[in-house]
Amino acid sequence: MSPDCEVHVRFFAAPPDLRRYFTTFYLLECKITDGGVVSDFLLPEWANLRFHSGSLPVAESLSGAKLDGTAFPVTGPSSRAVRFTIGSTRMWGIGLLPLGWAKFVGAAASDFADGLLDGNIHPAFATFRPLADDLLHGADDVEAELGRIASHFRGRIYLHVPEEERIVAIHAALVDPEVATVAQLAERAGTSLRTAERLCRRAFGFSPKLLLRRQRFIRSLSQFMLDPSLKWIGAIDGHYHDQSQFVRDCRQFMGMSPSQYGALPKPLIGAIMRERDRMAGSAAQTLDSPDGPKRPR
């Protein structure tokens, strides 16, 4: 039997001058009875910086890579779920949109795709360590912490991003549920196929074909998570040819069948997705537009 888990999560839109770089800033507070731990899965998503006080997560990718013992875990843009185990914790998370990755990290996103990284060690994240220290060692004060997050990134907003508007245009096409093929994505974004391929790998982490598959799958998974009464057949995105195609995607992205995932407890992600949908208008960060969440609060 899993221990009792009390979860409180709050989502905050970035200030207007920073909004095109971030999904949300979010604060998770999780209390688990009797010093226990719970396990759950991170869905495929954009890159995230996370800062923990209290219990530290143990994360493992479907390929077997493992990360534990750090208060500053970083996940690169992901195409596969990550299993994690954690006890009582307080965590600030910062979701980087592809443009945010291009501006504040700068390295090719494909080099970090599906990566589990220790932000306190990896040189690519050295500029975020002062922020980690600010968030982890100060008094718990939500408004002050939000101010420190915004101030940190405003201090680096001068950084130049090559082809910034093209990245935004590709992102806008990617989140449009009417766009189903790479050719449609390139046409909607006003780029060549070659340019779309190059920019997707550099700023988004993956090929446009894989990104479109991931969007289709996450739209379906989000529908199911928000309303399990639909069953899988009622949640499947209209771009799927049949249910077997969705099952193959679920095995690819989650490492298990839909029925296996549906039967698992989701003590953290279930609560997070419901609150995210209520506050931000989308249950998963990959569904956010280039301007950030649909209903910023």
Q: Determine the Cα–Cα distance for residues 187 and 196; give it in Å rounded to an integer.
A: 10
Output the pLDDT for position 142.
95
pLDDT higher than threshold 70 for residue 105:
yes
Q: How far apart are alpha carbons 88 and 108 in whole angstroms?
A: 34
Strand partners, 48: 75, 95
Q: Determine the average pLDDT of the residues in 45-57.
A: 97
Q: Are 150 and 19 contacting, i.e. CB atoms less than 8 angstroms apart?
A: no
CATH 2.60.120.10 domain position(s) in the chain: 5-154
The alpha carbon dihedral of 227, 10, 73, 122 has a sign of: positive
Instruction: List where CATH 1.10.10.60 sits in the chain.
Output: 164-287
- Under CATH, which number does the domain 5-154 receive? 2.60.120.10
Cα–Cα distance, 243 to 272 (Å, whole number)? 27
pLDDT of residue 2: 60
pLDDT tens digits, residue range 233-259? 777 877 787 889 999 999 999 999 999
- The pLDDT of residue 219 is above 60: yes
Distances (CA, A) of 106 to 22, 52, 81, 274, 276: 15, 24, 24, 32, 27
- What pLDDT is stored for residue 294 in this prediction? 63
E-strand stretches of 87-230? 89-96, 116-118
Q: Is the dihedral of CA 192, 213, 199, 174 positive or negative?
A: positive
Q: What percent of the chain has pLDDT over 70?
A: 98
- Paired tokens of 142: 């939500």
Average pLDDT in the 194-215 region? Answer: 98
| For residue 1, pLDDT beyond 60 | no
For residue 137, pLDDT over 90 is answered with: no
Q: What is the CATH number of domain 164-287?
A: 1.10.10.60
Residue 85 in 3-state DSSP? strand
Confidence of residue 60 (pLDDT cuts 50, 70, 90): very high
